[in-house]
Amino acid sequence: MMNFETILIYVTALLFSFMLHEIGHAQMAYIRGDDTAKNMGRITLNPIPHIDIFGSLIFPAILLLTKAPILFAWAKPVIINYSKLKNPKFDIPLVSFAGPFVHVILIALSLIIMKGALSFPQLTFGLNMSILEFFTVMIQVNVILMVFNLMPIPPLDGSKIIACLLPDEMARKYMELNPNIGFILIILFAMSGFFGSILNYVFTFINRIAFVFLYR
């Protein structure tokens, strides 16, 4: 069972990570011509506009109360007006991929900060351990968020990327999948051994990179 300090670390990492995920979508949409999310105040480090009552508060609270083996949450999705984009066929997957790519950046930054902490042994042991613990959690959280959001199930980011590779009629039917069916598929996929296998593969890959980067 996680203690209060560990829970606080995970909650902080989740809030920060999914907030930047949505900022990534909003910023890329703005760069490609759509100012909808910007005008709604979604390109901001203030967490309040990004908080989804169920996904950011209630759902993670349920996971904590039920002692689930994983802590997960999500932010309020940004609204994208695809008709404002300069080249929708090209820009939709670009905007969609911007969110998951934020997690790649956060994983890389976490490794750099951990490398810095290990390079200064004069830091107190407690401070050094706290830095390493927090950014280890940051890496774990961002790997999970990245893999989860790239699942090709509407309305996740992966579905929008895949849809732009399909013929128009097939893509339309794919994206019109009933949201309730999509949500059920997401839950089933997230709880399946297949999802866990993908996570284990990605974690193994990241751990190898981290070991080489941090200790060699």
Q: Point out the residues that are catalytic.
A: 22
H-helix segments, the chain: 4-31, 36-39, 59-65, 88-118, 125-149, 157-163, 168-175, 179-191, 193-215
How many alpha carbons lie under 13 Å from residue 197 in its C-beta half-sphere?
A: 4
Write b or e for each residue in 78-102: b if 16 or more Cβ atoms lie within 10 A of its Cβ, otherwise e: bebeeeebeebeebbbbbbbbbbbb
> Which residue shows structure tokens 């670390």?
9
CA distance 19 to 163: 25
- The total of other beta-carbon atoms located within 10 Å of residue 216's CB is 5
DSSP lists the bridge partners of residue 75 as 51
